[in-house]
Structure 1
Amino acid sequence: GFNGDNMIDNSTNCPWYKGWEKEIKAKVTGKTLLEAIDAIEPPKRPTDKPLRLPLQDVYKIGGIGTVPVGRVETGIIKAGMVVTFAPAGVTTEVKSVEMHHEQLVEGTPGDNVGFNVKNVSVKEIRRGNVAGDSKNDPPKGCDSFNAQVIVLNHPGQVGAGYAPVLDCHTAHIACKFSELVNKIDRRTGQSVEDNPKFIKSGDAAIVKMVPSKPMCVE
């Protein structure tokens, strides 16, 4: 590998190497890394799930209006769709969808899109909000949620009341540890202690968290 053997072209320096094979829809064989990469099947885009689009930014563009920007995580977004922004609770119609200054019929998972919305000011929605289809399981803000937490490097102990800042998709919000539900094994996920008083570096736990302001976790 360091010498470039069997990376792009079949190498004569490794006569002992019989190559690789993998089963996908049919058996595929090859000898080089490039062939192995070419044989990878791309994952299916989750277009069948409800729309979830976390906002990265919101712009006001002269002559166009308010344009939220973000990456489609699941579902599709297209002109004419009525979207809801959570946790802001704003509902509006999508006028157009663009990617790299080109108009799109629809935005699909993985697309970084900008979309123009009707009658919404830039002050009503912000980075961290999540857009969804108002008619198909729209996103909602939550009062609390359970999270699996691993303490990597923290001085001392962490107990209920600790309030770190959490980055969840594009949201950046302080969330309080309201309850340590149980301590778990990092590898198996099995509970090893219920309602621990604290956790420390190296521990993993299920923790009930309460955001300091409305937050969409999905």
Structure 2
Amino acid sequence: MMKITCDFVDIEEEIQSSIRSLQLDSSENIEVEAVATPEVVPEEVEKPVEMEEEQKVDTVNAAPEEDLHEKEDDIKRHLNVVFIGHVDAGKSTIGGQILFLSGQVDDRTIQKYEKEAKDKSRESWYMAYIMDTNEEERAKGKTVEVGRAHFETESTRFTILDAPGHKSYVPNMISGASQADIGVLVISARKGEFETGYERGGQTREHVLLAKTLGVSKLLVVVNKMDDPTVGWSKERYGEIESKMTPFLKQSGYNVKKDVQFLPLSGLFGVNMKTRLGKSVCPWWDGPCLFDALDAIQIPLRDPNGLFRMPIMDRYKDMGTVVMGKIESGSAREGDSLLVMPNKAHVKVLAIHCDENKVRRAAPGENVRIKLSGIEEEDILSGFVLSSIVQPVTAVFEFDAQLQILELLENAIFTPGYKAMLHIHSIVEECEIVKLLHKIDPKTKKPLKKKVLFVKNGAIVVCRVQVNNLICIEKFSDFPQLGRFTLRTEGKTVAVGKVIALSPAGGAA
């Protein structure tokens, strides 16, 4: 085969001339390729290539992966939900069922957990295995650490925080509840189980008080195990639990009409969770299912442009220093310069992850992992606060607080010199009451002039609190989540309070 290359000028004559001059045999194939010389049409050849390259660049700039996640995050609101309640009420089972119903866990995994639970003669625990992942929790049938998972409805992204119910692990429960926006109080309807949790010493009461103190303003009270043979979806049993819980919730500071909602369900079988309860199962219930109730809850919006505050829950090393926590105020962006307090370390934000997605920006209320430069992992402790450089968080050894005494240990007197463990945001620190300033009249809420030497259960008192190590806190009126706390002694919550004045340690920064 022979190629003949020519210009577009007099193409036919050139071809014929070439054929005659070469005296080609008629059987030989000839391919004619017309190639445009650069002088003739340079722009027509180059232009489409240039346009294609420009289009590629535009596509990349228009929607990088991070921006897509950011746009998606802006569409759906995000809420942190903590599951609280007495041990064995069914918190982990409900959490596992939510993940199964929302498609986070497949049937094969469920079958595996079902077999594992059956082998341990604990058939009804298999749903809890989704949330309780370590062997200690599965062997004991008790949640120890705060389980964390994610699911979505059409309008909301939820982070589930599965708090332990056993009294030995209340500090872990406090850690989970301090990160939450709304609470799901799980109560067992089974005969005897509700009473055990509700009576003095049961965790139902303590969890409600702690949740309110830690800023969980909205509460869903789910009456679980309604399918139990001792209950049988009984309206009377449900009504009895509601009538006993309502006065206690009011006493704990909840507005029952606005902030509390009751609903019945079965966590083990997922009844009244994703779809509404059928009349054939429970003819007297005409309220929402759990997913609808969670979707309908409204909480006050946080200010994304406020001063940045993020208490650090944990940290680890991963090609740099990564800190974990919930953004309580303000927003974080890649490239931001921030302070780690109280050691005043200047750091730069290298990357931000929400759930499993890398994002360019994170808004208040998000549980995030932030990679930092400018600080080593060993220079950060749980309880430190990632803060804006302008008006950073205050670091103190001493502060004034308004305390409500709940129930002191037997023979204990609340007086100057009283020592307890202070739980405030992600801080756990030993503290001492150094001065009682004045009592507050519970009816008028005004201070009493009479000098106070000690107080008893139920009293409201303003006192001065001292800690051994520098801690980062704020006044309750400025940043509620960094200004509310609990005092615990020997595994028991003895008082709840709020910070009303600070004594900065040599200035904030």
TM-score normalised by the shorter chain: which range applies? 0.7 to 0.9
2:330 to 75, 80, 86: 75
Secondary structure of 1:142's counterpart equals: strand
Provide the rounded CA distance (Å) in 2 between the counterparts of 1:109 and 1:208: 31
| Letter in structure 2 aligned against 1:159 | T
Residue type at the aligned position of 2:341: A
For the pair shown, the structure with the greater C-alpha radius of gyration is 2
Structure 1 or 2: larger helix share? 2
Could you report, residue by residue, the CA deviation over 1:178-197 in whole angstroms, capped at 9, with x for unpaired residues? 11111112354221244411
Structure 1 counterpart of 2:399: 145
The equivalent position to 1:169 in structure 2, one of 425, 433, 437, is 425
Q: Any residues of structure 2 matched to 1:1-218 within 5 Å, and which?
A: 8=276, 32-33=287-288, 40-61=297-318, 64-134=319-389, 136-154=390-408, 155=410, 156-218=412-474
Cα shift at 1:51: 0.8
Describe the shift of the 1:194–1:113 C-alpha distance in structure 2 as closer, same or farther (beyond 3 A): farther
- For residue 211 of structure 1, report the CA deviation from its aligned partner: 1.4
Q: Letter of the aligned partner of 1:140 in structure 2?
A: T
8 Å CA contact 1:55–1:70 kept in 2: the answer is yes
**CA–CA separation in structure 2 for the residues paired with 1:206 and 1:117:** 39
Q: 1:58 to 1:194 in 2, by over 3 A?
A: farther
TM superposition shift of 1:57: 0.2
Aligned residues: 197
Larger relative contact order (Cα-Cα within 8 Å, sequence gap ≥ 6)? 1
Amino acid at match of 1:52: R
* The 10-residue stretch of structure 1 (31-40 or 182-191) with the greater mean CA deviation from structure 2: 31-40
1:157 aligned counterpart, secondary structure = coil
Which amino acid is 1:106 matched to? R
Shift of 1:39: 5.6
Q: Give me the whole-angstrom Cα distance separating, in 2, the residues matched to 1:132 and 1:116.
A: 14
Write out per-residue CA displacement over residues 33-57 of structure 1, whole angstroms, 9 at most, x where no aligned residue: 5688766544212213211100000
Q: State how far apart, in whole Å, the 2-side matches of 1:118 and 1:83 are.
A: 10
- The residue matched to 1:123 in structure 2 has which SS? helix
Unaligned ranges ≥5, structure 1: 15-30
How high is the sequence identity, in percent, across the aligned residues? Answer: 24
Residue 143 of structure 1 and its aligned partner are, at CA, apart by: 2.9
- CA shift digits 1:136-174 (9 cap, x unpaired): 321120132111111111133111122211011001111
Segment of structure 1 superposing worse, 34-43 or 177-186: 34-43
Unaligned runs of 5+ in 2: 1-232, 236-262, 265-271, 475-509
Mapped partners of 2:469, 2:298: distance in 1:
41
What TM-score results when the alignment is normalised by the length of structure 2? Answer: 0.36
Aligned-CA RMSD value? 2.6
More strand by share: 1
Distance 2:451 2:361 in 1: 47
**Alpha-carbon separation, structure 1, partners of 2:431 and 2:320:** 33
Residues 84 and 139 of structure 1 are in contact (CA less than 8 Å); yes or no, is this contact kept in structure 2? no
- CA 1:175–1:201 in structure 2 vs 1: closer, same or farther (change >3 Å)? same
Per-residue deviation, 1:106: 1.2
Measured in 1, the distance between the counterparts of 2:380 and 2:294 equals: 41
